[in-house]
Amino acid sequence: MLLLGLLLAGAAGAFTGLLIAYNASGGPEYTVTMFGNTLGTLNTLEIFISGIVLALIFCLGLLMMRGGAAMARRRRVSRREQRRQTAAALAERDAMANRLRDTGSYEGDPAVTATQTDVAATTPRRRHRPHVFGH
């Protein structure tokens, strides 16, 4: 969206500049020519209205550039926060792995470890047999 807005604003600005450069003559009616081609004959009111339309197109391009830049900023901030959270989770995982390796067991909350061992003791381990195709 940022690139499209930049393209739209640049095209409106270039078109306005070329119209002014190629049509500097005065009179009650203006023949609009660009690159040797006649685009039309306009009176003063039509020229004023076309100027307003070109200004609105230019502003639309600026608005699109602003929206694209804001979206890119939100995406960049979100990615940065996700990287921070990932790094914190990895650091916590590594710290717990080092503590487990050093002590040989997890020294956590006794209530949690007791319920984990009770559940492990009461739940029988099921051994899975390999699946034989066709049986």
The pTM assigned to this predicted structure is 0.53
pLDDT tens digits, 40-65: 777 777 778 888 888 888 889 889 99
Answer whether residue 114 shows pLDDT above 70: no
> Which range marks the domain in which residue 31 is found?
2-101
Task: Let me know if residue 33 belongs to a domain.
Answer: yes
Task: Let me know if residue 127 belongs to a domain.
Answer: no
Task: Let me know if residue 14 belongs to a domain.
Answer: yes
Counting the structural domains of the chain, the total is 1
pLDDT tens digits, 55-105: 888 889 889 999 989 999 999 999 999 999 999 999 999 999 999 888 865
Longest dimension (CA), the chain: 100
3-state secondary structure string, the chain? CHHHHHHHHHHHHHHHHHHHHHCCCCCCEEEEEECCEEEEEEEHHHHHHHHHHHHHHHHHHHHHHHHHHHHHHHHHHHHHHHHHHHHHHHHHHHHHHHHHHHHCCCCCCHHHHHHHHHHHHHCCCCCCCCCCCCC
- Here the tokens at position 58 are 């230019």
- Here the tokens at position 98 are 């080092």
